[in-house]
């Protein structure tokens, strides 16, 4: 069954006004994409391609001007309060800018536990043990549980946000450049954790990235975005360098080799 359907979604913004001519920006044009239960879909594209805009539409933070976003078959615009409550328990997001998405005055345990406290599924006594085990899962030291965000590095904060997203056993996680700022070892560790969780729980992922290496091997399908449109969809990225899609070729060829040759 399809968990999420993006059906011919178009999103426009307007720039300027007052003293300059109002200019239309087509951030997304006619985007169609589906994520099935237990599936992983990647969205890759260069900066400004429209990836984060798509993420915001999926989360219902904004609505498309045309087309629809459906979760479990229902248009987000038709959601009742009860539907939103269920959606917020089932759909979690991790953004790249982790510092901007945590409350600086909260201890780590409260940040990670926020979705748990909003869910009726967990009793009060379960919260702390769950937070400690989540910290351990994402490679953080559980003894840091009462520290504050400014006491962590960017990569550690990113893992705190990943732990928060995993806390309520969601059905869909939108990861917008969520692992891009992590060092390679931690990145591999988190990707393995996400994959293991998928096998265990059947959670679905929508992986947004400009880095083809992160989605290669992880996603069943990858949509290539270019200037607000999907230029192609591929299942196997191993042949990306020879693809007919010039955007995909460019993304594949822009990867640095593991040991870049330094100019003399």
Ligand X SMILES: Nc1ncnc2c1ncn2[C@@H]1O[C@H](COP(=O)(O)OP(=O)(O)OP(=O)(O)O)[C@@H](O)[C@H]1O
Per-residue binding string, ligand X, 12-51, x by CB under 6 A, is: -x-x---------x-x-----------------x-xxxxx
Quote the least distance from Cβ 77 to ligand X, whole Å: 19
DSSP category for residue 38: T
C-alpha closest to that of 55 among 136, 159, 176, 139? 176
List the alpha helices (DSSP H) in the chain. Answer: 51-58, 81-90, 108-117, 124-137, 154-166, 184-201, 212-215, 246-253
Quote the least distance from Cβ 147 to ligand X, whole Å: 29
Contact of residue 158 among Mg ion, ligand X, none (CB under 5-8 Å per partner type):
none
Which chain residues interact with Mg ion by CB under 5 A?
A: 52
C-beta of 166 vs 225, nearer to Mg ion: 225
CA distances from 43 to 53, 88, 182 (A): 12, 22, 19
C-beta of 27 vs 135, nearer to ligand X: 27
- Residues within window 45-74 making contact with ligand X, judged by CB under 6 A: 45, 47-53
C-beta of 25 vs 186, nearer to ligand X: 25
Mapping DSSP to helix (H, G, I), strand (E, B) and coil, where does residue 20 land?
strand
Per-residue binding string, ligand X, 203-232, x by CB under 6 A, is: -------x----------------------
The residue length of the chain stands at: 264
Mapping DSSP to helix (H, G, I), strand (E, B) and coil, where does residue 233 land?
strand
Quote the least distance from Cβ 102 to ligand X, whole Å: 19
What are the tokens at 64? 């498309």
Residues forming contacts to ligand X in the complex (CB under 6 A) are: 13, 15, 25, 27, 45, 47-53, 210
């Amino acid at each position: 069954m399809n968990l999420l359907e993006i059906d011919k979604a178009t999103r426009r913004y307007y720039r300027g006004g007052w003293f300059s001519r109002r200019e239309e920006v087509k951030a997304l044009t006619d985007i169609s994409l589906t994520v099935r239960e237990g599936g992983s879909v990647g969205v890759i594209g260069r900066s400004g391609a429209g990836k984060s805009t798509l993420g915001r539409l999926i989360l219902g933070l904004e609505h498309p001007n045309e087309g629809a976003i459906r979760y479990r078959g229902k248009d987000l615009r038709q959601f009742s309060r009860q539907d939103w409550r269920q959606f917020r328990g089932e759909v979690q997001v991790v953004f790249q800018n982790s510092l901007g998405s945590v409350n600086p005055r909260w201890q780590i345990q409260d940040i990670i536990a926020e979705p748990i406290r909003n869910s009726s599924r967990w009793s009060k006594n379960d919260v702390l043990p769950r937070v400690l085990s989540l910290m351990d899962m994402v490679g953080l030291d559980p003894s840091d549980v009462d520290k504050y965000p400014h006491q962590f590095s960017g990569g550690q904060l990113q893992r705190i946000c990943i732990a928060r997203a995993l806390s309520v056993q969601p059905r869909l996680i939108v990861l917008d450049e969520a692992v891009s700022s992590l060092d390679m070892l931690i990145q591999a560790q988190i990707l393995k954790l996400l994959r293991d969780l998928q096998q265990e729980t059947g959670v679905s992922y929508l992986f947004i990235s400009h880095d083809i290496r992160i989605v290669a091997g992880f996603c069943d399908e990858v949509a290539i975005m270019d200037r607000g449109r999907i230029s192609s969809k591929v299942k196997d990225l191993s042949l990306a360098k020879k693809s007919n899609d010039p955007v995909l070729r460019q993304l594949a060829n822009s990867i640095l080799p593991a040991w870049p040759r330094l100019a003399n």
